[in-house]
Structure 1
Amino acid sequence: MSHAAWPVDPGAIAPFLAAIVLIELTPGPNMGYLAGLSAVEGRRAGLVTIAGITAGLLAYMLASVAGLTEILRLNRPLYEILRWAGVVYILWLAFDAWRGEKPTDWRGEDGRAWVHFRRGLLANLLNPKAALFYVTLLPGFIQTGHASPTMQALILGGTHILVSIVVHGAIVLSSDGLARRVIATGSSPVSRRLFALALAATAAWIAVETGR
């Protein structure tokens, strides 16, 4: 099978995978939020949050393919509005975690699943670096002589989303054991306040990191 028959350049696959794995393993707001949430509320909360984060990544990936996120790159005031909205939102999550009560039973019809999905989605959509991720990363791996640039972007972007699911899932599953110990010892309120402080620190980190 000739290289031209591949939808993407086969020589770009390994470097692309290496780049996205490195990016996903670099500590960031999604990683910290998922680890803290799963440690406090358990695996199901983390997995549903992953679904929300993934939906946000998919939305930005499709928006970048359509050229919509280029508007954000060229419009600094809009970028600033989005990044400060993200900082405020994470601070609100920190406040909510600080005052929150012990999580209710997941089998109860309390809408907890939707809450976690929505929070994961919004936390990702309000991160301007996530919006510009595909704009800055994908063009370097799209080559002529293969599928259309749009198709290549969709394939590479979809690959990144799959890798992110695997990495995020590993974080949630590794944190779930801690959650069980926390609940068993009855120290959940203390853990939630530590989680709130970690979220506040994450908001400060986002404010600095996205301002560069």
Structure 2
Amino acid sequence: MVAPALLLGFAITALIIELTPGPNMAWLALLSATEGRKAGLAATAGIAVGLLLIAAVSALGLAALIDNHPAIYETLRWAGALFLLYLAWEGWRAAGESSPASTRSGAARHAWRGFVINALNPKAAFFFVTVLPEFVSPAMPAAPQTITLALTSVTIATLIHLALVLMAGSIQAFIADEARNRLTRRILSLALVAVAIWLFISAAR
């Protein structure tokens, strides 16, 4: 349903963005290290559901518009490249991000927090509305491609979150170190700049 080259490019882009230290990563590492893997797994489930909801609302509603309005495609192509550059700039300048405070509570509450944090995250919505369409080929129906790409993004995010939970101790220590946090952000930011340029050029109709 998605051209292999586009799917690979999208997967790499989603992976780079998800690997950039942010609130989800910091929160999951802290929660798992202080309250155990069960709490971390519950939070991961909530995050995944939140991402699925925002992906469906943001991406699927846009598929028909992409098919019928070329001007919208071009607008999103520009917006997607600019958004990636913004993420690169944000990652470069930020030494670290604060994470939601966690208190000892039940698994359901952790799952709910993970859901709310992501379902109400405008940056996640903007990713699905701007970056995802960059990888939708005009030669094939948009809806099946959009579904595949959205599920790919959520799957990548969930796998990374599960890995964080399973390695909570070492990951938390790594993210807490300001110098290593900054170095990681800047390496991934440069990679995002390269992806943004490649996308803008290759996605031209």
**How would you bin the TM-score normalised by the shorter chain?**
0.5 to 0.7
Match status 1:161 vs 2:185: no
Provide the C-alpha distance between the structure 1 equivalents of 2:99 and 2:22, rounded to a whole number of angstroms: 18
For structure 2, the residue ranges without an aligned partner over 5 or more in a row are 66-97, 177-205
Change over 3 Å in CA distance of 1:43–1:149 after alignment to 2: same
Q: Does 1:123 align with 2:117?
A: yes
TM-aligned CA deviation for residue 166 of structure 1? 0.8
In the TM superposition, residue 66 of structure 1 has moved relative to its aligned partner by: 3.8
CA distance in 2, matches of 1:16, 1:93: 29
> What residue number does 2:130 align with?
136
Identify the residue that residue 23 of structure 1 maps to in structure 2.
17
2:168 matched to 1:175?
yes
SS in 2 for 1:67: helix
Instruction: Kindly report structure 1 stretches of 4+ aligned residues shifted beyond 6 Å.
Output: none
Name the SS for the 2:167 alignment partner.
helix
- Equivalent residue, structure 2, for 1:36: 30
CA apart distance, 1:176 = 5.8
CA deviations on 1:101-128 (whole Å, 9 max, x unpaired) are xx47xxxxxxx12111101011112221
* Contact persistence 1:42–1:176 (CA under 8 A): no
Contact in 2 for aligned 1:134/1:157 (Cα 8 Å): yes
Of 46, 52, 59, 1:52 maps to 46
Distance 1:135 1:20 in 2: 14
| CA gap 1:171/1:92 in 2 versus in 1, 3 angstroms | closer
The CA deviation at 1:130 is: 1.2
How many residues of Structure 1 are paired with residues of Structure 2 in the alignment?
140
Q: Structure 2 counterpart of 1:27, which letter? A: P
Cα distance change of structure 1 residues 170 and 42 upon mapping to structure 2, 3 Å threshold = same
State the distance in 1 between where 2:42 and 2:5 align: 35
Q: What CA distance in whole angstroms lies between the structure 1 residues aligned with 2:142 and 2:60?
A: 11
Shift of residue 19 of structure 1?
0.6
How far did 1:92 drift?
Answer: 11
- AA aligned opposite 2:138: T
CA gap 1:139/1:93 in 2 versus in 1, 3 angstroms: closer
CA spacing shift, 1:92–1:32, aligned 2, 3 Å: closer
Structure with higher Rg: it is 1
Compared CA separation, residues 38 and 127, structure 1 to 2 (3 A): same
Structure 2 residue 4 is matched with structure 1 residue 10: yes
- d(CA) in 2 for partners of 1:119 and 1:136? 26
Identity %: 41
After TM superposition, list the pairs within 5 Å mapping 1:81-96 onto structure 2.
94=101
Amino acid at match of 2:153: H
Query: Which consecutive unaligned segments of at least 5 residues does structure 1 have?
Result: 1-6, 71-90, 105-111, 180-194, 196-212
- Cα distance in 2 for partners of 1:132, 1:92 equals 21
When the two chains are superposed, the root-mean-square deviation of aligned CA atoms in Å is: 2.8
1:149 matches 2:154: no
